[in-house]
Each structure stands twice: as C-alpha cells, then as structure tokens.
Amino acid sequence: MQADALTPGRPHFGAGARALAVAAAVVTLATPTAAQEQATGARARVPTSYANVHDAPSTGSNLLLLVPEGTVLSIIGRRGEWVQVQVSPGLRETGMIVRWYEGRHEIIRRGARVVIGDEDNGWMHDSTVEILPVGAQ
C-alpha cells in the first residue's frame, strides 16, 4: 500500500497539505512567546507611592521590595501582564526591603535547591507602572 493511498473513513492529506503544516509549525516555533519578549530600551516608572517587585511573575510569588514613587527601572523582559525589571543595588537604600538580603545562598524549597538573595531583577505587574517609550525622559 502506498503512503498516499486513500483509506476509507479516514481523511486524506496530500503532500502539499503536509508541507503547509510543517511550515506552520516552523513559524510557530520561531515566533517568540510572551515569556521570551525583550523590551530593549523601554523603561517603567512607578506612578504611585510604592509598587511591589516580586521574584516571579505572579502575585503569589515572594515580594522582594517596594519601589518608591518616581523610580524609573529598565525593562529587561515581559511575560503577559508582567514586566521584568532590572533592580539596582541603590534600591536597597531608597526602597523598602521586604526580603532579607544576606548575599546569594542556596536553600531547599519544596524539595528543590534554589539560589536566593541579592536579586538583580524582579517582576512588576504592568498595572503598577507606566511604561515609558524608548527615548522618553
């Protein structure tokens, strides 16, 4: 029996349809997901008295620090409604530290080894910041 032979009761797809499906899969895999988006040059400004910076893009994740109003942070990534920002060492002096910074160290969390401390980036929900276009002051 040939590979393209018709089988009763089963749909038949020719070589053209298979090539189209393969091309669609390649385009889908090559397209960056929201988690892979990079917002190069964009910045986020805190418009309220304080905004939370989390260690992961979730309100249930650990809170790292509270960033004061007017602070501008470089955006290094996005995931859905969450903005990943660069956290400078200076924020430890101007922000309100929530997590104790003892330097990097490993802990066991839920049976997995995790490195925490001295984070250089964090996540903020985009409803808590103003996204500044590239080149804006």
Q: What is the pLDDT of residues 57-93, one digit of tens each?
A: 999 888 888 999 999 999 999 999 999 999 887 776 7
Contact 81, 75 (CB under 8 A): no
Domain spanning 35-132: CATH 2.30.30.40: yes
Q: What is the pLDDT of residues 81-126, one digit of tens each?
A: 999 999 887 776 777 777 655 556 677 878 988 776 667 888 999 9
Rounded CA gap, 82 and 56, in Å? 9
Q: How many CA atoms lie within 13 A of 14 on its CB side?
A: 1
What is the pTM (predicted TM-score) of this model? 0.60
Q: Identify the pLDDT of residue 15.
A: 56
